[in-house]
Amino acid sequence: MLIPLLRSGVLYMIWRRHIRQRALGLVVTVFIILAVNLIQSEALAFFKATEKLDLAPLAFYFRWLGWLAAGIGYVWFVERKIAKASKAASAQRDGSAMTSRAKTKPPAKPVEHHDGFDALRHNAPLRSRADIMLERKKREHRD
């Protein structure tokens, strides 16, 4: 019972850290590759129907060129953007740590906090019946 939960937790962490930010780029890249394959197969069918088989190698070259363009486009638009964002976040973290160290002030006097109970704190403490009896006994005992 614990193993499926751990697996789903690991898959969730992988999704959150790696796949979610790349999902749209991966989907677009897969669709581009599928479109290139479809266009290449249609071109081969057209060359076969028109009996221009000497152009068939050209279709394969364009297919590989399309795949290469899809891969480079993914790296350029998705991975580069993620790398820039992570560098900016780490620089911001480092910068905020440096500014927080630079802005440290000497400890100041404690500020009085007025929370609405000040009037009660400065009142004379309430005395119970037992306190009154003890005070009376002390007075009588002193006399």
Residue 21's closest CA among 68, 98, 79, 92? 79
The single-letter DSSP state of residue 51 is: T
What's the pLDDT tens digit per position in 4-42? Answer: 766 778 777 877 777 888 889 999 999 999 999 999 999
Supply the pLDDT for residue 66.
95
Residue 32's closest CA among 81, 66, 75? 66
Find tokens 């100041």 and name the residue: 108
What's the pLDDT tens digit per position in 34-87? Answer: 999 999 999 999 999 999 889 889 999 999 999 999 999 999 998 888 888 888
Domains of the chain, by residue range, sit at: 7-103
Residues 78, 84: Cα–Cα separation, whole Å: 10
Beta carbons of 79 and 18 less than 8 angstroms apart: no
pTM of the predicted model as reported, rounded to 2 decimal places: 0.56
Q: What are phi and psi of 115, to 5 degrees?
A: -110, 15
